[in-house]
Amino acid sequence: MMKYRLLLSFSRLLVLSVVLLSISSCGFQLRGSQQFPEHIQLVEVRSLSAHDPQARALAERLPVYQLGYTRAAAPADIANTVIIELRPENLDRRLLSVFRTGQVAEYELIYRVDYRLTFPGQEPVNAVVEVLREYQDDPDQVLAKSRELDLILDEMRAEAADRIIRLMASQASVPAVAVN
């Protein structure tokens, strides 16, 4: 019985080691573990409004990726600053289902952010992020559903910010193309 337990624990350890080695050898990285080049340390976020909620979401998410945030980079920092220019956000709803009475029961929320990403010494890249969520509407609980919609929208902004930063990380690793 003792040999069986020892053999079982050894085989589990062996299987775990093989799985970990295969995952690490294929280049797998956890989300949020993107590495930025050494020269990129600061992100300037520009938006039309000083109190843009998407700009706030980016400001909250950038420290997770060990990046600094600024609303206007100093001239001395411009060589290591990535610029994100946010355009106005857009929230649309698409009807998914209705009650027998004809009232809307469920929506699909579509949150869209257009932005321009500019790396030092490179041409700007225009991009779009779209985040989708399902939202169930209940006409009997208007106040609670209004608060729920605000929370869902905040989550969608945070997810959009993460996607923007991940795209920025993937674009940062692409070498700059020399223009003659």
pLDDT digits (tens, 9 = 90+) for 83-92: 999 999 999 9
The pLDDT of residue 28: 57
Half-sphere exposure of 43 (CA within 13 A, CB side): 29
Is pLDDT at 138 greater than 90 in this prediction?
Answer: no
* pLDDT for 25: 66
Q: Which of 81, 82, 80, 111 is nearest to 94 (CA)?
A: 111
Instruction: Name the strand (E) or helix (H) holding 115.
Output: strand 104-118
pLDDT digits (tens, 9 = 90+) for 10-21: 778 777 777 777
CATH of 33-172, one of 3.30.160.60, 3.10.20.30, 2.40.30.10, 3.30.160.150: 3.30.160.150
Question: Residue 137 above 70 pLDDT?
Answer: yes
To the nearest whole percent, how much of the chain has pLDDT over 90? 31
pLDDT at 35: 64
Q: What is the average pLDDT across 51-56?
A: 91
Q: What does the mean pLDDT of the chain come to?
A: 81
CA distance 56 to 158: 9
Write the DSSP string, 141-165.
Answer: -HHHHHHHHHHHHHHHHHHHHHHHH
DSSP 17-29: HHHHHHHHHTT--
| pLDDT value of position 113 | 95
The DSSP result for 44-75, as a single string, is EEE-SSTT-HHHHHHHHHGGGGT-EEESS--G
**Residue 180 pLDDT class (50, 70, 90 cuts):** very low
Residue 148 pLDDT:
87
Rounded distance, CA 30 to CA 47, Å?
A: 30
Tokens representing 48 are 């039309």
**Amino acid identity of 158?**
A
Backbone φ and ψ for 52, nearest 5 degrees, come out as -65, 125
Residues in the chain, total: 180
Residue 98 pLDDT level (bands cut at 50, 70, 90): confident
